[in-house]
Amino acid sequence: MANRTPSALKRTRQNERRRLRNREQKKRLKKALKEIRAAGGKKDAEKLLPKVQSVIDRSARHRIIHRNTARRLKAGITREVAETD
């Protein structure tokens, strides 16, 4: 750590909290994507689709992922669900 000024210590605490929060949100996103890809049939995947899209949107809104990445993920997941038998 650099200087031990009060503001530097506060920034360190803030960064640690943010890092942990971002890590949890990233995990939540990855888990949702795995769930929908592992869904048994088309009906299961269609039920999960709005939930997964919501998680993707939330991640983009909180800048966990870039908004264009979110659009690409949503388009890909929607396409996968549509092509599922």
Give the tens place of pLDDT for each residue, 42-77: 999 999 999 999 999 999 999 999 999 999 999 999
Is the pLDDT at 1 greater than 60, yes or no? no
Instruction: State how far the Cα of 85 lies from the Cα of 79, in Å rounded to an integer.
Output: 12
pTM: 0.85
CATH superfamily of 6-83: Ribosomal protein S20 (1.20.58.110)
Q: Token pair for residue 40?
A: 């048994």
From 8, 27, 31, 30, select the one nearest 19 (Cα to Cα): 27
- Of the pLDDT bands very low, low, confident and very high (cuts 50, 70, 90), residue 6 is very high
Which residues, at least 6 apart from 8, have a Cβ–Cβ distance to it below 8 Å?
1, 2
Which residues, at least 6 apart from 65, have a Cβ–Cβ distance to it below 8 Å?
29, 56, 59, 73
Give the tens place of pLDDT for each residue, 33-48: 999 999 888 999 999 9
